A and B are shown apart, each in its own frame.
Chain A
Amino acid sequence: MYWITVVAHLTYPIYCLTSYKPPNTETNPTLEDPTPDYMNLLGMIFSMCGLMLKLKWCAWIAVYCSFISFANSRSSEDTKQMMSSFMLSISAVVMSYLQNPQPMSPPW
């Protein structure tokens, strides 16, 4: 068995194995999709508006933004950031309803 493998090895073409290196997104920012970061930021802004100005629709939009950010996020991204944004938007909704239990009125 030994000599068969040696022969096989001699006839096998020489190659080299290269390990995978993830592309460096700092040098090439066009490769990165900015959607999750923008949505995260928007979500936080809307939750703060909803909390400070007691606007229910702001809080609801913040919830949507955090969901969209989560859907578009990369798997390598930190889940803590996602979770904190999500929690903030939920707290904005809850606080605005506790302060004013009236239902939301449509803008029209």
Chain B
Amino acid sequence: MRHLVFLLPALLLLLALPDTRGRYNDDFDDGEDIAEFDDNDFAEFEDVSEDPAVDVEKEPPPRAAPSSTPIEDEEDEATVENEDGQDEFEDADAQDQDMYSKYDNEEFEGHEKTNPSFKDTLIYREVPAHLQNSWESYYMEILMVTGLLAYIMNYIIGKNKNSRLAQAWFNSHRELLESNFALVGDDGTSKEATSTGKLNQENEHIYNLWCSGRVCCEGMLIQLKFLKRQDLLNVLARMMRPVCDQVQVKVTLNDEDMDTFVFAVGSRKAMARLQKEMQDLSEFCGDKPKSGAKYGIPESLSILSEMGEVTDGVMDSKMVHYLTSHADKIESIHFSDQFSGPKVMQEEGQPLKLPETKKTLLFTFNVPGMGNTSPKDMDSLLPLMNMVIYSIDKLKKLRLNREGKQKADRNRARVEENFLKQTHAQRQEAAQTRREEKKRAEKERIMNEEDPDRQRRLEEAAQRREQKKLEKKQMKMKQIKVKAMS
């Protein structure tokens, strides 16, 4: 009985094993031919239809080896091949992959063959530039900062140069001005006119000087209009188109200091421009600029004048001498009793009133050097200041004869008439709106009146006024008709 007990499980085991193996094989074999029995322990797992590119490991993986060895020992009497036992652990990962590749695809869902990517080239992602330890990637920023530094450097240099030029001009002209004017340099901040004795800086490139206290003139404003050397953009623009520094002298005269005329002399380009821009030159000097050669001054200068008598009076020998010797420095000289500045373009059309005029002498001089001025060049402008003083004194004495005066008065009347005609419609409209406003205000006042009696009385008074106005109008119309008929 005991023998039977021991024999029975052994028999059962012997009988079961082939079945399990067979079943096992069926599960993995997928209906195909059973793999050839290699010496390989896992021949039964081998998939014959596999991709030949995949390496098939002939060496058995270590962990599978122990489980299968007792079976084989009993059945096939095969020797266990334990090749390269140490290396098996190193190639574990690769062998795992190959092991998976031998499995049937249907057995595992969602398992993707990723091993090909392992063998392809690795993609190196670039480290973001701001995490790198180099400043080279920030070259645009460095460029910007360099540009800013260059701008600041240019600002400092330009500002200093302009300041030096202004000071040089003032030093060379100070004596002349102080001998001619009681007040030299006033910034207008104090209530009383006080002589500061220095230039008034309006900008980094514009310097003003107000002089007053002289016979024959109310005051003189000198503006040193330098180039914008402190602005790098302007410096670069000037490289394309050279421009000069300018000195502008504006002398305002009292009413008795000058007769009524308009006159200008200067470079041809400047004269053409001024004739279009300036209000008085466009109105009183309608003819084209005449060449200066007729009066003994260089061809490069041309003259705009209200009448010939004025030109003859202004162009005396000394003036001609000044103009001839300094023709390159003179941009324009403008004498006018109707000076109101450049033409003002108004949006609503013509202005309703004639612009205010002032008797003015306006001189514009170019500083020699064409931008590359040095402080020494300022001395060469001194004779021109002498010319200014001479002109002030001369114009005080210059008087038109009777004919000239009549012509001048006629011109002024003509200009005024033209202006009034052009603005007639606008002035009428303005008057109409004013009347309507008045009426509306009165009506509102009546409406706001609380007392009914007073309200009635005010209404009656307004009606009576309206009636009177109508009657007056009718009378006027009658008179006009009678005049027209007679």
Contacts and interface: CB of A to CB of B under 8 A. Distances in A.
B202 A76 contact: yes
Nearest to B341: A28
B148 A103 contact: no
A30 interface: yes
Interface stretch (B208-216, B359-367, B382-390, B441-449): B208-216
A66 to B, nearest CB: 11
B187 A20 contact: yes
B219 A18 contact: yes
B160 interface: no
A105 interface: yes
Interface residues of B, number: 44
Interface string A52-89: 00000000100110011001111110000000000000
B212 A18 contact: yes
B10 interface: no
B140 A20 contact: no
A17 B182 contact: yes
Contact of A22 (B128, B188, B193, B341): B188
Interface in B268-323: none
Nearest to B233: A68
B70 interface: no
A20 B201 contact: no
A3 interface: no
Nearest to A27: B344
B183 interface: yes
A9 interface: no
Contact of A74 (B192, B203, B213): B203
Contacts of B221: 20
A71 B204 contact: yes
Contacts of A19: 186, 188, 190-193, 212
A56 to B, nearest CB: 8
B193 A18 contact: yes
Contacts of A8: none
B77 to A, nearest CB: 71
**A71, A75, A105: most-surrounded residue (chain B CB, <10 A):** A71
Contacts of B186: 19-20
B9 to A, nearest CB: 75
Contact of A102 (B128, B187, B341): B128
Contacts of A76: 202
Nearest to B250: A23
A43 to B, nearest CB: 13
B138 interface: yes
Interface string B445-469: 0000000000000000000000000
Contact of B201 (A68, A72, A75, A101): A75
B230 interface: yes
Given A22-B188, A103-B129, A72 B231 contact: yes
A67 B202 contact: no
B141 interface: yes
B215 A14 contact: yes
Contacts of B139: 103
A87 to B, nearest CB: 15
Contacts of A18: 193, 212, 218-219
Interface in A88-104: 101-104
B103 interface: no
B316 to A, nearest CB: 23
A16 interface: yes
Nearest to B137: A103
A71 B155 contact: yes
A100 to B, nearest CB: 9
Interface in B361-405: none
A2 interface: no
Contact of A67 (B148, B188, B190): B148
Nearest to B214: A15
B107 to A, nearest CB: 49
Given A63-B148, A74-B202, A74-B203, A103 B188 contact: no
A20 B211 CA distance: 8
A72 B147 CA distance: 18
Interface string A13-49: 1111111111000011010000000000000000000
B155 A102 contact: no
Nearest to B211: A20
Interface in B68-125: none
Given A17-B213, A20-B187, A21-B188, A64 B147 contact: yes
A102 B126 CA distance: 13
B144 interface: yes
Nearest to B154: A71
B481 interface: no
B187 A103 contact: no
Interface of A: 13-22, 27-28, 30, 60, 63-64, 67-68, 71-76, 101-106
Given A72-B228, A103-B130, 20 more contacts: A14-B215, A15-B215, A16-B218, A17-B193, A18-B193, A19-B191, A19-B193, A20-B187, A20-B200, A30-B344, A64-B147, A64-B148, A67-B155, A71-B155, A72-B204, A102-B130, A103-B129, A103-B139, A104-B140, A106-B140
18 contacts: A14-B215, A17-B183, A18-B193, A19-B212, A20-B221, A28-B344, A30-B341, A64-B147, A67-B152, A71-B230, A72-B203, A73-B203, A74-B203, A101-B130, A102-B128, A103-B129, A103-B137, A103-B138
